[in-house]
Amino acid sequence: MENIIQFVYIASASLFILSLKWMSEIKTSRWGNWAGTAGMALAILATLLKPEIHGYLWIAIGIVIGASIGTPMAMLMPMTAVPQRTALSHAFGALAAGIVGSAEYFLHGSNLSMPQLIVLCIEVLLGFLTFTGSLLAFGKLQEIIPTRPILYPGRNLVSLSVFAFSLFLIAYLVIKGGSHPFLFSSIVCLSLLFGILLVLPIGGADMPTVISILNAYAGLSSSFMGFLLNNKLLIIAGALDGSSGLILSIQMCKAMNRSFTNVLFGGVGQVLEVADPSRDGKIVKSLSPKEASILFEAAKKVVVVPGYGMAAAQAQHVVKELTDVLENRNIEVKFAIHPVAGRMPGHMNVLLAEADVPYDKLVEMEEINPLFPETDIVLVVGANDITNPAARKNPGSPLYGMPILDVDKAKQILFIKRSMSTGFAGIDNDLFYSPKTIMLFGDAKKVLNELLISINSN
Amino acid sequence: MTLNDWITNLYIFVLASFLGLELIRNVSRLLHTPLMSLTNAISSISLVGSLALTGEGDKTWVIVLGTIAIIASSINAVGGFLITDRILKMFRKSK
């Protein structure tokens, strides 16, 4: 029986690998997801064949309850809520890893060898810190908790001491060996606390990186569970997830020109730049949507720059309607997608796909930037910092060095914005004062609707 | 577990990580959200551990903890695969 189980596990691991391979292209991506699902089903079936397993009742109850919570969570959630759903899902997976590790310790703690204790403690540490960290990320994305970074003096010292203390307890536990329920419970509590401290000072705009890091942790904690249980399937699947989360977080950091440590400990968002005196004389031009609609008469090429504000205002469907109207007038419309636009990697692509915008119109930053000089109108919908030319020109700006969309090079910029307040990072955008920029103040959805009606009646 | 088992497992971990890095590098940025919800679903492979814990458990507290772990990881698995498919279905090319 053990051999059969191992063969099924190999099949399951292969399916997971194929699943990621097929995920690289849209054409095969749905196959990728099915391969992953099949891999998971095989893994569950093979595990249930284990002769040591004798009680099936609670397993069945658990799966039925889990599936009946997971299904509506996946099917009913609006697409704008995908980031928070992902964060919540990370929390559940990590909680399971933490619980299994802890139960193993309380069951066999005194019989475990030193290396087993090490992997068990790391699994529990990663599992529980990912649990609370992801729950907090969920709370911030769902706006139950304020999205701005929550900062207090000495926060880095507090976080690092909590982390160092838990590592110290782990080292003590491992070297001492034997069963120490109290010590172990303290490690669990410290891990839970560290997860909260880690995400608390992180603001909404850094969420893409944080979600990716939590994704990596959840994977790694499964991998360490594999080491503990001597289960190679767990090691492989966990390692695949870990590397995925790692690559995504590196790409997100690069897209913001920041390091890992800066995202985790930098607390960006508290940098509230005092109004620049040299800006006093500069004028902001604004028009009503009706007046602005005339500009589209002469336009041939339009680029839309979406940001988190589009998601917040649920404006993706109006954007699509506007695109259709412009295309009917033989205006070419493209979308410029910045890698960190939104609250998770690829967020804008999903929202626009939901609104039925074909994916070949979604152009990545590197490809769209050379096209801006010949673009007649750029329409910025709910984006801010990713269009700020200070990132290129002003070495004193906190954004300096971040790759941006070169929106300022277009012939005309229409910037939809609620008010003159600063962007997420609290930094004023030079683009507002460009003679080429026209501000359209108001809620993104409302402004776009008025624009749409006016263009139709012109 | 012998020392050999540990070394084999470490080999597997390192090789799988490199394979993962190569595979993910090729994923189009367009698909990063479904990629993350897929890998999130795959990370619920910890379900295997939860199943063993519950199925082999004799003490009540073990079964209670195990069942909670099964519920948590099956929410993750079922939800993750379903939403990934829902997202992927929406992507289409221009006519």
Instruction: Please name the residues in contact with A387: beta carbons below 8 A apart, sequence gap of 6 or more.
Output: A305, A380, A404, A405, A407, A408, A429, A431
Predicted confidence at residue A425, as pLDDT, reads 55
Q: Is B5 on the interface with A (CB under 8 A)?
A: yes
Distance CA A51, CA A330 (A): 68
Q: Do B51 and A242 touch (CB under 8 A)?
A: no
Comparing CB atoms, the residue among A63, A92, A230 nearest residue B1 is A230
Pick the last residue of a domain from A233, A265, A297. A265
Which residues in chain A are contacts of B73 at CB distance < 8 A?
A: 66, 92-93, 96
- ipTM comes to 0.96
Same domain, A156 and A190: yes
The answer as to whether A81 is a domain residue is no
B2 chain-A contacts, CB cut-off 8 A: none
**Residue of B13, B30, B56 with shortest CB distance to A239:** B13
Measuring CA to CA, which residue among A346, A305, A254 is closest to residue B30? A346
Low-confidence ranges of chain A (pLDDT < 50): 268-278
pLDDT for the residue A183: 92
Do the chains contact at A215 and B32, CB–CB below 8 Å?
no
A118 vs B contacts (CB less than 8 Å): none
- Asked if residue A281 and residue A260 are part of one domain, the reply reads no
Cβ within 8 Å, pair A238-B45: yes
Same domain, A204 and A284: no
> Collapsing DSSP states into helix, strand and coil, what is residue A421?
coil
Query: A53 and A111 share a domain?
Result: no
Report how many Cβ contacts below 8 Å link chain A to chain B: 364
Q: Does B49 touch chain A (CB under 8 A)?
A: yes
**Does one domain contain both A186 and A287?**
no
Contact call for A227 and B94, based on CB within 8 A: no
Q: Is A324 a catalytic residue?
A: no
Query: Domain boundary at A76, A103, A133, which?
Result: A76
Domain range for B60 is: 3-90
Could you write out the DSSP letters of every residue in A37-97? HHHHHHHHHHHHT-TT----HHHHHHHHHHHHHHHHHHHTS-GGGHHHHHHHHHHHHHHHH
Q: The tokens of A447 are what? A: 């402004």
The C-alpha atoms of residue B13 and residue A231 are separated, in whole angstroms, by 11
Does B74 reside within a domain? Answer: yes
> Which residues form the domain of A72?
1-76
Q: A400 and A287, same structural domain?
A: yes
Which residues in chain A are closer than 8 Å to B84, comparing Cβ atoms? 33, 36
In this prediction, residue A279 carries a pLDDT of 54
User: Which of the residues B40, B81, B85, B89 would you substitute to probe the A interface, choosing the one with the greatest number of A C-beta atoms within 10 Å?
Assistant: B40
Q: How many angstroms separate the Cα of A397 from the Cα of each of A75, A146, A409, A423, B58? A: 43, 25, 19, 13, 62
**Tally of CB atoms within 10 A around A454:** 17
pLDDT recorded at residue A421: 63
Q: Which of A385, A408, A428, A430 is catalytic?
A: A385
Q: Are A20 and B24 within 8 A, CB to CB?
A: yes
The distance of A434 to chain B (nearest Cα, Å) reads 31
Give the residue from chain A lying closest to B92, CA to CA: A358
Instruction: Please indicate, yes or no, if residue A117 is contained in any of the structural domains.
Output: yes
Q: Using CB atoms, which residue from B30, B42, B82 is nearest to A349?
A: B30
φ and ψ at residue A39, rounded to 5 degrees: -60, -45
Whether residues A319 and A450 fall in one domain:
yes
> Does residue A84 belong to any structural domain of this protein?
no
Q: A166 is written with which tokens?
A: 């838990």
Among residues A438, A379, A377, A429, the alpha carbon closest in space to that of A404 is found at: A429
Return the residue of A nearest to B23 by Cα: A21
Q: At A311, which CATH number?
A: 3.40.50.1220
The secondary structure element, H or E, covering residue A262 is: helix A260-265
Does A175 map to a domain? yes
The domain boundary, picked from A54, A76, A98, lies at: A76
Integer angstrom CA distances of residue B94 from A317, A386, A452: 17, 27, 22
Q: How many domains does chain A have?
A: 3
Establish if A270 belongs to a structural domain: no
Contacts of B54 in chain A (CB under 8 A): 55, 58-59, 62
Query: Are A282 and A261 contained in the same domain?
Result: no
User: Could you write out the DSSP letters of every residue in A263-294?
Assistant: HHHS-TT---PPPPGGGTT----B--HHHHHG
User: How many secondary structure helices (H) and strands (E) does chain B include?
Assistant: 4, 0
**How many domains does chain B fold into?**
1
Q: Residue B71 is nearest to which of A65, A223, A235, comparing CB atoms?
A: A65
- In a domain, residue B95? The reply is no
Asked, for residue A132, whether it belongs to a domain, the answer is: yes
Which site among A45, A57, A63, A114 would you substitute to test the B interface, given the most B Cβ atoms closer than 10 Å to its Cβ? A63
Which amino acid does the sequence have at A11? A
Give a yes or no: residue A288 inside a domain.
yes
